[in-house]
Amino acid sequence: MLAAASHRCTLWLAVPIYLLWRQQRSFANGGVYLFLVSFELMYAVLAGISA
């Protein structure tokens, strides 16, 4: 059960990260991209701890 929930959470996080990666390639705004990815990773860690 936990593995399935973890996989679902990973997929849920992978989509916005992929979209951010595409956006970063389009606009080449590395600073904003790195900030958003670090925010996503922090959120993922907090979600994993609380889950």
Q: Which residues contact 47 (CB under 8 A, 6 or more apart)?
A: 9
Average pLDDT value over all residues in the chain: 72
* CA separation for the pair 14, 30 (Å, rounded): 18
Q: For residue 5, what pLDDT is reported?
A: 57
Highest mean pLDDT (candidates 1-5, 13-17, 22-26, 45-49): 45-49
Q: For residue 1, what pLDDT is reported?
A: 46
Residue by residue, what is the 3-state secondary structure of 8-28?
Answer: HHHHHHHHHHHHHHHHHHHHC
Tokens encoding 28: 């080449």
Closest Cα to residue 10, out of 48, 49, 39?
Answer: 48
Q: What is the pTM (predicted TM-score) of this model?
A: 0.39
Closest Cα to residue 38, out of 5, 11, 13?
Answer: 13
Which of the four pLDDT bands, split at 50, 70 and 90, describes residue 30? low
